[in-house]
Structure 1
């Protein structure tokens, strides 16, 4: 059954000098309002142990506009300023719910320059978008059409570090589920092979950052030789940013194509719950792990499976997928990263490390899914214990002596320090 979802379509546009100046002023005012409101909330909390609500911040914004030194806030649209207060309220809500850290101040150089316009602050007519305080429509490059009959409810305008302008249009879209299939697949994430499927197929890691590493190093050397604050340094900085943007765009495009293919071809996709933040503590593999973008891969699989009526199963992070023999169920005591093939001491079967791990992941995911319990681990820390996938992990190692199984359970957390990462 088709479902209606909110979907964002991002397009690049080329503003005129007047539009660029207006948007730059808006970005500056948005950043100023956010930082000022955050400062007021912080002072009230630590000084008076009092929380400030969105209504109070909105009333304070009205008073700020009446002062002579902050009169410049009236020169831009009021909608982006109100929206950034709502974003700050959401940030504090996440903080008090222990879903995020304390909100941080926005930096002029490091933070993303953006402004959000709701329906009352822009005009959408005949496929042309005109923002508040502007006389002309934006010159948007329509790289793909919007859904037929869709009208944007929110428009977010942003400028990246490379100087490119983007407009993100949020619309209501109807997505039909993909045709049903009986295919299931398990995924083992790695570095040399970005993904190894339970079918034995290995999808190579394109390593976009490594391919552009020479170009990036040259641009960074040129930047380091420029005088701080000069125009030449700003040009060199944008050159470095363009190289980074090229790497990011190519990586995201590859991940979109890969995840779309996996979701369309399989009814059930099984992955493992990797803690990338802890894996990045491995100094030798941190750069390669960052380039692999496992977190972005999982995020794409999550929302695409939800869109197209597929099932995504996430097994426990401590499941010994690489050390477990898929033939007899024996668990190997140690498995160094440089050992890509290993022979089971119990049954003598020779295993490819990644393919065996992918098959074990699939078996554990299907077994856990058959229990009928929630098998997807929560992203937040759970106070109630382990998920049902952990119970299926115990079933997968049935028949192993307790001592050996206990040693494996104690050794499993090594995945957080990098032992569970595929070799480069």
Structure 2
């Protein structure tokens, strides 16, 4: 029986100079609000054993906008700032429920630059997306169509370290469960073979990182020779980031194809309960384990089995 699920569709887009400047300001404000709210919560928790709620953080945000030195927060859309506080609330809920570690501060260099807009902060009309405080729609490259009649409920704008811009649209989609089958398969994770199936088939590890290792090493050597803070260093840093992005894109594409195939062909999929974090402590194998991305494969199998009526046994 078909059912509605929420799916995210991600596309590249190319902002105008004005749009890029507005989004960059918004990314910076989102990071600032998240870190400032985290600082206040940390002070209250460790200093007074007192929890601060989302409502209290939201009220504090209103006051920050009126404070000299932080009044620039009022110059960007308020929705992404509120969403940052909601994400922090979720992070603390997971921490107190012992599902996650204590929330960490967002770094300007290491954290992904992103901002989330809910329905009140964007306009969707005739297949065009226009964000709050922007005069024109985004130039999106539609690599695949949205489901017919679907309208985004939430959009997330992001910029990766290679300088590429992305928009992820959350929509409701109808998923039809796959036809029932008696087939079952077990997966044994490995290094030489990414996984060995219980049928005896071995899925070769593409070793995406190793294939680009020489190119990556050359770019990193060039980066080390550039003066810190110079335009040439930033240009070379982008070159290194593009190599990393190429590796990640190919790895993700391969895992999507593999996980989809396994879910379509089998009613039951059995996988190992690997603690990848502990395995990465092995210095000799850490690089190969990271390149294999077993955790990503497991995540894909989990939600695809749920979508298509399959059983995942860990």
* Alpha-carbon offset, residue 253 of structure 1: 0.2
Residues in 2 aligned to 1:225 and 1:21: alpha-carbon distance in whole angstroms: 30
* Alpha-carbon offset, residue 83 of structure 1: 0.6
* Alpha-carbon offset, residue 266 of structure 1: 1.0
Residues in 2 aligned to 1:219 and 1:309: alpha-carbon distance in whole angstroms: 45
In the alignment of these two chains, the number of paired residues is 314
Residues in 2 aligned to 1:195 and 1:34: alpha-carbon distance in whole angstroms: 39
The alignment's TM-score, normalised by the length of structure 2, stands at: 0.98
Which string of whole-angstrom CA distances, capped at 9 and with x for unpartnered residues, describes residues 87-136 of structure 1?
A: 11111111111111111111111111000000000000000000000001
Which string of whole-angstrom CA distances, capped at 9 and with x for unpartnered residues, describes residues 353-406 of structure 1?
A: xxxxxxxxxxxxxxxxxxxxxxxxxxxxxxxxxxxxxxxxxxxxxxxxxxxxxx
Gaps of 5+ in 2: none
**Larger RCO (CA under 8 A, 6+ residues apart):** 2
Match of 1:401 in 2: none
Q: How does 1:96-175 map to 2 (within 5 A)?
A: 96-175=96-175
* Alpha-carbon offset, residue 197 of structure 1: 1.3
Does residue 62 of structure 2 align to residue 29 of structure 1?
A: no
Match of 1:45 in 2: 45
Match of 1:10 in 2: 10
Residues in 1 aligned to 2:296 and 2:270: alpha-carbon distance in whole angstroms: 16
Match of 1:373 in 2: none
Does residue 82 of structure 2 align to residue 82 of structure 1?
A: yes
Residues in 1 aligned to 2:107 and 2:272: alpha-carbon distance in whole angstroms: 36
* Alpha-carbon offset, residue 48 of structure 1: 2.3
Which string of whole-angstrom CA distances, capped at 9 and with x for unpartnered residues, describes residues 303-328 of structure 1?
A: 111111111111xxxxxxxxxxxxxx
* Alpha-carbon offset, residue 47 of structure 1: 2.2
Match of 1:370 in 2: none
Residues in 2 aligned to 1:56 and 1:278: alpha-carbon distance in whole angstroms: 38
Residues in 1 aligned to 2:264 and 2:219: alpha-carbon distance in whole angstroms: 40
Match of 2:239 in 1: 239
Which string of whole-angstrom CA distances, capped at 9 and with x for unpartnered residues, describes residues 228-278 of structure 1?
A: 000100001010000000000000000000111111111111111112111
Residues in 2 aligned to 1:10 and 1:298: alpha-carbon distance in whole angstroms: 20
* Alpha-carbon offset, residue 198 of structure 1: 1.4
Q: Alignment partner of 2:68: what SS?
A: coil
Match of 1:184 in 2: 184
Q: How does 1:291-302 map to 2 (within 5 A)?
A: 291-302=291-302
Q: How does 1:45-84 map to 2 (within 5 A)?
A: 45-84=45-84
Q: Alignment partner of 1:272: what SS?
A: coil
The alignment's TM-score, normalised by the length of structure 1, stands at: 0.73
Q: How does 1:173-252 map to 2 (within 5 A)?
A: 173-252=173-252
* Alpha-carbon offset, residue 189 of structure 1: 1.1
Name the stretch that deviates more: 183-192 or 209-218.
183-192
Q: Which runs of 4+ in 1 moved over 3 A?
A: none
* Alpha-carbon offset, residue 182 of structure 1: 1.5
Q: Alignment partner of 2:271: what SS?
A: strand
Residues in 2 aligned to 1:294 and 1:87: alpha-carbon distance in whole angstroms: 26
Gaps of 5+ in 1: 315-424
* Alpha-carbon offset, residue 68 of structure 1: 2.5
Q: Alignment partner of 1:258: what SS?
A: helix
